[in-house]
Structures are given as C-alpha cells and as structure tokens.
Structure 1
Amino acid sequence: MSNTQIFHLTSKDRHPETADLTQFLTQSEGADTIVGPHARVYKCELHYESTTKIVAVKRIYPRGATPEDIERVDVRVRREIVVWIGLEHENIVQLLGTTEKNQDFPSIGMVSEWMENGNLWSYIKETRPLIDRLQLICDVVTGLTYLHSQRVIHGDLTSANVLIDNNGRARLVDFGLSSIIAAFEGTSLMASAIGGALRFRAMELMPPLEEDPTNFDPKLTTACDIYSLGSVTLQILSGQQPYYNINDDVLVALALTQRKTPDRPDTQKLVDRNEYWDFIQKCWRKDPVTRPNAEEARDELFRLRKVVLA
C-alpha cells in the first residue's frame, strides 16, 4: 500500500492533517508492545482493499499522568501531528495518519511506517562496515537539515529516535515530543525531559552548577539539535554512548551542570579520526551561537566522508 493510497482512503471527508486510520488498523497477532518511559509503540497492520501494510502506532503516556493530563497531552500531540504530517523527506519517518483514543487507549495514536531494522543504537551494535556508518551519519544530518529548513526543532535527537529502514538508511522520528513530555512531568532536573535523553542533551538545557535551578528556564533551539548531532556522530563512529565512562546518570547530569563534554572514547574498533573528533567538538561548543548550523554540519560531514573513503 502506497502513501498515496492511504491519503486517498482518508481524505474523502477529512483534511489530511486529521487523517483517521482507526477503522483500517488491527494489532499484529503475537506482536510485542514496545514500552518506553514516555510512550508505547504497537506493531499493527493497516488494511485497505486487498493490501496490507505493517505500521507502528505510537501513543504518548507521560509518567504519572492523570486523566486530566492525558487530555492536555492529547491536545498538544494533535498540534505536533499537524506539523509532522506536512513533512516529507527520505530521512524522515513518514506520518501516515492517526488512530483515535478509545476505552483501551486514552490518548491519540500516531501511525507511521514500521521500521523492521529498529533504531540506530540497536542497528550499530551489529558489525557494520565503515562505509555504512558514514552513510548513517550523512542520513542523520540530512534529515536534521530538512527539519531546520522547515523551522522544526527536533528536541530529542538520539540514537533511539533514529530508525533504520529496509534499505539500511536512517530516518528521524519523534521530533517535538520531548517538550510535550516535559510539560507533564516533574520539575526535577532528572525527571524533566526537556531536550530529550540526558546523555545527548545540550549543556545549556541544564543549569550551571553555580546557578539557582529554581529560576532556570531552558529553551530549545536549533543549536541544541546540533549539540545532539555531535553526540550521535560520536556514538555511530565509536560504538560508545556519550559519557561512556560514567555509569550513573546523576553524575552525567552533574557533568552537564559543570559544562563538561563527553570524553573521547579510547577505542580503535571503529573509525578514530581527528577530523571527526574536531567536528564533534564544534557541535559541543559551550556558546550555542558558535556551533555550526545544520547546513554547515551537513556540508562538513559529506566532505569528511569523501576524505575518509578516498
């Protein structure tokens, strides 16, 4: 089933930004539900006429959310859906439509293509040739450049939010959701999801150690995404997560408040080139305005790939 078919089956009496696919969906038999700290993902089948497409249905569940919170989440998610469904790029996971809430599911679901290869982190745990890893980096920065060109901030760029399609190409997903989750969770620095996963979070989204955290009001910017891009690049090249040598996330948070960037992994298993380390350090510059923008990062990473593979 093509995305064009899906548009036609849902657009007869609805705008595409509210395309409701509920009546065409069934949960795949025996399929596991992927449960994360903020959401659940269901593997489903989308049926239309004589064709079937495997899709993912994602529903947001902030931890400790009350029924009133869920209603507010629903409103916020619908706003993000309007943005997401207008995006179309080979390095962005395509939003196909929505599925409405019901007795079993208290929040709206987002229907997207199912990626059998999983996320970037699980994918690169397998042995991957250097040429493939460098392509993944180029895919990520190309997708990010597209988002920024559409005035969309990802806000949670991590290896968990990059999915791998059937051709082994990287696609970004879950942009804009970290700010929704943060709005409905606690105000503690560890609980707050603003800026996404802690190890990939831009340091300016954490209060400096000497500052009163009660007055701290972080703002997501495109520069925050660039910081996270540096961390994703590090992980693809080294096979190590940022702050690989710090096991406790509380200590990672402390390092961020002290404005300490991740150490360079001590590994020769994968590419260990000074040119890439220099690029990563540019992404981690303490002053956000001095970091490269997405287009500059894309041009640099494509140039580096050509140099390394020459």
Structure 2
Amino acid sequence: SSHKNYEEVALIGSGAYGTVYKARDLNNDGQLVALKKVRVPLNEDGVPISLLREISVLKQLQSFEHPNVVRLLDICHGKRLEHERQLILFLVFEHVEQDLATYLLNCPPPGIGPDRIKVELLYQLLTGVDFLHSNRIVHRDLKPANILVTNEGQLKLADFGLARIYQQTQPLTAVVVTLWYRAPEVLLQSSYASPVDIWSVGCIYAELFTRLPLFCGQSENDQLCKIFNIIGAPLECEWPKELTLPWSTFSNFKKTDFEDIVKDICEDGKNLLEKMLQFDANKRIGARQALMHPYFKEYELYPPKYDNNLNNKFNSGNNDDTS
C-alpha cells in the first residue's frame, strides 16, 4: 500500500538503518503506528536480495502473532532515488508506548522488585528470544532501547532487522550490537550464532536489578576488560584459536561475585545469570533451557504451547497427528 496512507506525527528516533516516526494510519481511524523509513541501496538489478530475505522472514513471523514480538503491519515502497541508487522503504509496525530503557527510567525507586523482574520481564524476554531462535533467527542487537513495553507490561522484541536466518556454517558479517550488550565472541569477531543473544539477555537481566548497564566499555578492548573484571579471565582452552590477540592479554583477571554487583538477586537467579554470562558460547545456556531453569520453577511457567517453528509450519506434508 502507499506510504501516503500514513501521516507522520512525531520523530521517535533514528538508528543505523533509518528513521522511526510515530504516525497515524489514515485508513484505519487514525490508529497510531511506528513508521520506519529505511534507505535501501539498490544494486545493479534492483533491490538487494538480503533485504528481500529479511522482509520475507519478518512477514513469515507475523503469521504466528507471537505476543513477545512486535507486529509488522505493512510494507510500502517510497521514492526511487536513481541518482543515489537508493530506494526508500516504509516498514509499518504497531506502535508501543515505550522501550525498556524508558520503562526502567520511569519506574519509581526502589525500582522493579525481584518477582516482577522474574515473571513479567525476564520470562517474556526469554520467551521472545526462544521464538526467534527456534525459527533460526538471531536478533544480534538486543538492548533496552529495542525491547518495547506496552502500558499493560507486555514485552515485545523489536528491530531484529539485522537478524537473518542463520545457517550454523555461515559466519555472519561483523559489527552489529551496541558495545555494552555485545558478547565476547562478537567483540573478538569470532562468532555470531544464537548464543550472542543470550549474553545480551544476561546483561539486561542484571540491569533490571541495578538500573545501570553491567559492562560499560569505551572500546572493544575496554569492553572485554570490563567483562573479565566481573566474570574472571577465560580459560586458555576456551580462547578462540584463530585470534591474533593472545589469551595472555586477559589472563590475570579475577572473578567478582555477582552478589556484590546485583544485590537483590536470589540464589537461583544468580545461577541463571552466571549460565547466561559464560565466556564460551558453547557453554552458555540456551533460551529454551533458561525457561526451564529452577529459577522459574515455582511458577510452573513451562514454555508456552504454541508451535514455535516455521519449519514445522511450512514443511509438514503429513498433518496426521501421530504424537
């Protein structure tokens, strides 16, 4: 449909990929939407394949109407800027009142209690991440600014425009995540698979308690120092073999007890946080495993019953229920 159906009301923000406006849908009683205006470089034969792939993934995900993923309502083509070889695209998302960063800022002291952190925020965050991962999508840029929270307290992941369906064998391209939430393997440019999101979730989890980012580095190297200052030096056997940066650079760091940093966390919560913030991505807990961790056990919040996987949806030639 045409972007002229949408009237811009206010600028929400601009990021690496474009500008986001709060807008009204003129065809739909002026309903508020978030309009993301993206400039797409055109290659020789038109729109880049990678973008089309990402849009088709976003569209496929809509069919699930997952409660913890922001809705993509519409995609419109704007002008073709032939002289700049660019196309303007408008992605129309549901409008959500605030992001997690704002939500934390506006939460009156003493902040969000441990129970609300567990049941309302962390559980929803992991459920959304589990949904993406079970569809082979890595978000790769999880941070409080692109986790949205409705006035009813529903949490929704946004901005996985960088996510692409990952084939385990295919290393994804470099720099994506805001430094503070970046996993060590991203800082070291050695891997970009799904565990990078769990690291980010761990950083956000700690921040829900302290209301301050856990690791605030100024550069990649400084960020690694901030990380090892808390989780301790990695083992030599865990250090990626292909790096020119030697392990000895960081071998002297000592571990800090998480209880000293995250004051109100319970024993199970601390255990889960440590499992998320493992240096070695292979040892890091997965989203589904995290949802089944004893930390959540008294709520019996086992992973939701929906069918989580696109592959099942598109590849199930045989619909007989034999289970």
The answer, yes or no, to whether TM exceeds 0.5 is: yes
Q: 1:183: which partner in 2? A: none
Q: Mark the CA change 1:48 to 1:224 in structure 2 (over 3 Å): closer, same or farther.
A: same
Residue of structure 1 aligned with 2:175, choices 193, 197, 209: 193
Deviations 1:62-116 (A, max 9, x none): 9xxxx668x9886533321111122120000011111223279953121101111
| Mapped contact 1:201–1:228 kept (Cα < 8 A) | yes
Larger Rg: 2
**Number of matched pairs:** 257
* Cα offset, 1:265, TM superposition: 7.9
How many Å apart are 1:243 and its aligned residue?
1.5
Gaps of at least 5 residues in structure 1 are 1-19, 180-191, 208-215
Select 1:155's aligned residue among 140, 143, 148. 140
Q: Higher mean Cα deviation, 101-110 or 232-241?
A: 101-110
Question: Does the 8 A contact of 1:275 with 1:304 survive in 2?
Answer: no
Distance in structure 2 (CA, Å) of the matches to 1:249 and 1:36? 19
Q: How much has 1:219 moved relative to structure 2?
A: 3.3
Task: Go from structure 1 to structure 2 and tell me whether the alpha carbon gap of 1:157 and 1:284 turns closer, same or farther (over 3 Å shift).
Answer: same
For the pair 1:142 / 2:127, whether they are aligned, the reply is: yes
In structure 2, the residue matched to 1:255 is 225
Given the superposition, is the C-alpha separation of residues 251 and 164 from structure 1 closer, same or farther in structure 2, using an over 3 Å criterion?
same
Gaps in structure 2 of 5+ consecutive residues: 165-173, 233-255, 301-323
Query: For residues 117-146 of structure 1, what are the alpha-carbon distances to aligned partners after superposition, in whole Å with 9 as ceiling and x for unaligned?
Result: x11111012225424332111110011111
How much is the aligned-residue C-alpha RMSD, in angstroms? 3.5
User: Is the 8 Å Cα contact of residues 78 and 90 (structure 2) preserved in structure 1?
Assistant: yes
Give the corresponding residue for 1:234: 206
What is the CA–CA distance in structure 2 between the aligned matches of 1:132 and 1:282, rounded to whole Å? 21
User: Contact conserved, 1:235 with 1:242, CA < 8 A, in 2?
Assistant: yes
Q: For 1:278, what is the secondary structure of its paired residue?
A: helix
Which residue number corresponds to residue 103 of structure 2? 123
Q: Which residue of 2 aligns with 1:91?
A: 68
- Relative distance call for 1:290 and 1:176 in structure 2 (3 A) is farther
TM-score (norm 2): 0.68
- Residue 259 of structure 1 and its aligned partner are, at CA, apart by 8.9
Cα separation, 2, equivalents of 1:74 and 1:26: 28
2:33 to 42, 48, 55: 55
Are 2:187 and 2:224, in contact at CA under 8 Å, matched by a contact in 1?
no
Query: Is this contact kept in 1: 2:272–2:295, CA < 8 A?
Result: no
Do structure 1's residue 243 and structure 2's residue 212 form an aligned pair? no
Q: Percent identity?
A: 24
State the alpha-carbon separation in 2 of the partners of residues 161 and 305 from structure 1: 29
CA contact (8 A) 2:185 2:192 kept: no
